[in-house]
């Protein structure tokens, strides 16, 4: 499954990565996706990232939203609302689930 491979790969690439959440929501248009939220520090700067992974058939689209951990979460809801509007032509569920 792509989501597990992606998680394992990122954990190896970023020391000290802390998982803050993961789930498998569905957009309002009926598209399933994987959401993974992590935090980590690099060179003394803390980051929070949300990964949104969409798949259809044999392809995967990964969208990453990054902000500083000490930065306001004021845009988080707007990003979530934008993700909810994604549409995929000829959508076929991919192997995203664990």
CATH of the domain at 37: 3.40.1000.10
Q: What pLDDT, on the 0 to 100 scale, is given for residue 95?
A: 55
Residue 94 lies in a domain: no
pTM: 0.84
Q: What pLDDT, on the 0 to 100 scale, is given for residue 96?
A: 52
Sign for the CA dihedral angle at 29, 3, 42, 19 comes to positive
Which structural domain, as residue segments, surrounds residue 10? Answer: 2-83
Residue 93 lies in a domain: no
Number of domains forming the structure of the chain: 1
Ranges under pLDDT 50 in the chain:
98
Q: What pLDDT, on the 0 to 100 scale, is given for residue 87?
A: 87
Residue 40 lies in a domain: yes
């Amino acid at each position: 499954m792509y989501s597990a491979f992606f998680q394992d790969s990122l954990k190896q690439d970023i020391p000290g990565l802390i998982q803050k959440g993961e789930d498998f929501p569905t957009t309002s248009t009926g598209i399933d996706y994987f959401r993974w939220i992590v935090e980590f520090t690099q060179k003394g700067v803390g980051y929070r990232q949300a990964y949104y992974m969409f798949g259809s058939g044999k392809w995967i689209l990964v969208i990453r939203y990054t902000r500083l951990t000490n930065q306001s979460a004021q845009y988080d809801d707007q990003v979530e609302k934008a993700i909810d509007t994604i549409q995929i032509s000829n959508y076929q569920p991919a192997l995203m689930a664990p």
